[in-house]
Structure 1
Amino acid sequence: MAAPITSLTDKISRTRVSSVLNKDTKQFGKKHLFDGDDETCWNSDQGSPQWILVDFSEAVTVSQIEIQFQGGFVGKTCWIEAMQAGQENLSRLHEFFPQDVNQTQVFPLPEPALTLTSLKLVFDSSTDFFGRITIYKLDLLGSS
């Protein structure tokens, strides 16, 4: 029997981001990615690529990613990099192509599921002319 699919945010030991708009971490910092508040967001500064790197406190199996962007500040060419248990480097795992909308979008990871210790979301380009990315909600779903 497969393990139930749940949010893995409680398994995150560290989150890093490529940049924060105007270095204003209080208003636009990485802490807002997983806070569950519809009124807060992570907003990157300009430039491409932008990224989010998550390290887990234990090996987990990520089966899907849910992201809610702000329309107009959406990643266009995106991919997931992952570090599997026992590896020392991230490797490119899967590409995904979000729509330029405000709704939560779900991106399943390819089967077979891999046991990961780190996950990196790379936004190589953006619908914003300046390359900014704005995310109101990010959830990593799977099992531990």
Structure 2
Amino acid sequence: MPWLLQDAAKVKASIGSSKEARCAFDGDEETVWTVELGSPSISAHVLVASTLSAPRRVETWQALECIFAGGFSPIRIVTLAGFAREGSKEVEWIEVQESYPRDGNMQQSFAYEPEAVAATLRARGKRSTDACTHIALRLDGSTDGFGRVIVYRLNVLAT
């Protein structure tokens, strides 16, 4: 199964360096992306948005995979699908799923629930067969008292 974000055409992080954020998607567990949210509160977050190298149907998404350093995990990860509007640079973002990683240095996988994703998209006038052009992952809060998140891997698997 391919990792959708590994070959992303463009990566943009709302906090810190976008170049460093790309390390989370490279598949190499020796590289790391460190984010300082400034607060452990769930209201503190970083958004990392990726422009896909080619549009992908949301129904092909299988799972979110992640590895965080123990003690430096986000409290919640929100996956968003982005649909570029024709003739515009504007992107319509739809929250697809929330995942709650455990605080530990281990690989974790969160399957996308096809029925729930389809219902969410339908409520916003989209179908799971529609091709999205962007994927964003929002990391909310931190298990670290100073609001740091350390990411070794973060990616979306697809068929």
Rounded Cα–Cα distance in structure 2 between residues aligned with 1:19 and 1:32: 14
Aligned residues with identical type, % of pairs: 28
Residue 90 (structure 1) aligns with? 93
Q: Is the 8 A contact 2:6 2:27 kept in 1?
A: no
Q: Is the 8 A contact 2:79 2:98 kept in 1?
A: yes
Residue 15 (str. 1) matches residue 25 (str. 2): no
Residue type at the aligned position of 1:62: W
Cα drift, residue 121 of structure 1: 1.1
**1:32-43 superposed matches below 5 A:** 32-43=23-34
Across the two proteins, how many residue pairs are aligned to each other? 134
Rounded Cα–Cα distance in structure 1 between residues aligned with 2:13 and 2:62: 22
**Structure 1 spans left out of the alignment, 5+ residues:** none
**Structure 2 spans left out of the alignment, 5+ residues:** 39-43, 118-127
Residue 143 (structure 2) aligns with? 127
Cα drift, residue 11 of structure 1: 4.2
Q: Is the 8 A contact 1:33 1:41 kept in 2?
A: yes
Rounded Cα–Cα distance in structure 1 between residues aligned with 2:80 and 2:2: 21
1:43 and 1:110, CA in 2 relative to 1: closer, same or farther beyond 3 A? same
1:39-63 alpha-carbon deviations (Å, 9 max, x no partner): 2201112332122211102211322
**1:1-144 superposed matches below 5 A:** 5-9=1-5, 11-20=7-16, 29-47=20-38, 48-60=44-56, 61-84=60-83, 88-112=91-115, 114=128, 115-143=131-159
Q: Is the 8 A contact 1:50 1:133 kept in 2?
A: no
Cα drift, residue 86 of structure 1: 5.2
1:81 and 1:8, CA in 2 relative to 1: closer, same or farther beyond 3 A? closer
Runs of 4+ off more than 6 Å: none
Tell me how large the CA RMSD over aligned residues is.
Answer: 2.3
Q: Is the 8 A contact 2:5 2:50 kept in 1?
A: no
Deviates more, 1:29-38 or 1:120-129: 29-38
Query: What's the TM-score, normalizing by structure 2?
Result: 0.73
Residue type at the aligned position of 1:107: F
